[in-house]
Amino acid sequence: DADVTQTPRNRITKTGKRIMLECSQTKGHDRMYWYRQDPGLGLRLIYYSFDVKDINKGEISDGYSVSRQAQAKFSLSLESAIPNQTALYFCATSETRSTGTEQYFGPGTRLTVT
Amino acid sequence: AQSVTQLDSQVPVFEEAPVELRCNYSSSVSVYLFWYVQYPNQGLQLLLKYLSGSTLVKGINGFEAEFNKSQTSFHLRKPSVHISDTAEYFCAVSGGSNYKLTFGKGTLLTVNP
């Protein structure tokens, strides 16, 4: 079984709808991240969480919110989806070390907003 | 602040040819460097990482990278590529007390028969 799972894997939604993307991990890591990937732009950090009570904005958090329901679960919500939020979304996890630690990625959720 | 520049957005090569994917970084502190690979319709997988020590780092699938502090580079190389190496490759940096990974924009490696 995969260590980092994301649901759904694909989603098509309409402008203005609320949508939630979910991430679960079995790696036992405290740190979790949400990124979006757009062609030619690489990965950009949306939100990150160091533990259940510590949630922080990344470089592109506008229009998104998150919830860390447990150590193993980190959800990303789009309160009112818009077409430019069409992208590939990745969840990642890492160990609690100060730095130099790699991140482990889920398989991604492809979101299309029409 | 830190940043990563991947100098080529696309690199086409023939099978069994050598390849180099270029990555330059900037950071005001000591850095940790990573290369990730993304196969079609998959998530990112770590190829290799440089944390300290030997500047030549070996990774999975026959890839290696060399950390060059004076040139602020971390280029990825493979002496002979296979069709299965076709993927997008991302260079990333983190540094100092900054836990965050900053990614480059990616290089699409296409291996042709």
Q: What's the rounded mean pLDDT across residues B5-33? A: 93
What's the pLDDT score for residue A98?
A: 58
Average pLDDT (A77-85) is 96
> What pLDDT, on a 0 to 100 scale, did the predictor assign at position B98?
56
Shortest distance, CA A109 to any CA of chain B (angstroms): 10
| pLDDT tens-digit map of B22-51 | 999 988 777 889 999 999 888 999 999 998
Listed ranges A62-76, A93-107, B97-111; the one with the highest mean pLDDT: A62-76
Q: Do the Cβ atoms of A108 and B42 come within 8 Å?
A: yes
Q: Which amino acid is at B107?
A: T
Q: Is the peptide bond before A8 cis (omega within 30 degrees of 0)?
A: yes
Structure tokens at B31: 């850095």
- What pLDDT does A106 receive? 95
Would the CB atoms of B46 and A43 count as touching at under 8 Å?
no
Inter-residue contact A90 to B44 (CB < 8 Å): yes
Residues of B with a Cβ under 8 Å from any A Cβ are 9, 32, 34, 36, 42-46, 49, 51, 90, 94-101, 103-106
Cα(A22)–Cα(B11) distance, integer angstroms: 34
| Cis status, amide bond into B113, omega within 30 of 0 | no
CA gap A76, A42 in Å, rounded: 19
| Residue A107 C-alpha, separation from nearest chain B C-alpha, in angstroms | 4
Q: How far apart are CA B82 and CA B44, in angstroms?
A: 19
For B25, other C-beta atoms within 10 Å of its C-beta total 21
The shortest C-alpha distance from B37 to chain A (Å) reads 11
DSSP category for residue A3:
S
What is the distance between the alpha carbons of residues B6 and A96, in angstroms, rounded to a whole number? 28
pLDDT-based confidence at A55, cuts 50/70/90?
very high
Structure confidence at residue B27 (pLDDT): 80
- Determine, for residues A98 and B105 on separate chains, whether the beta-carbon distance falls below 8 Å: no
B90 chain-A contacts, CB cut-off 8 A: 42-43
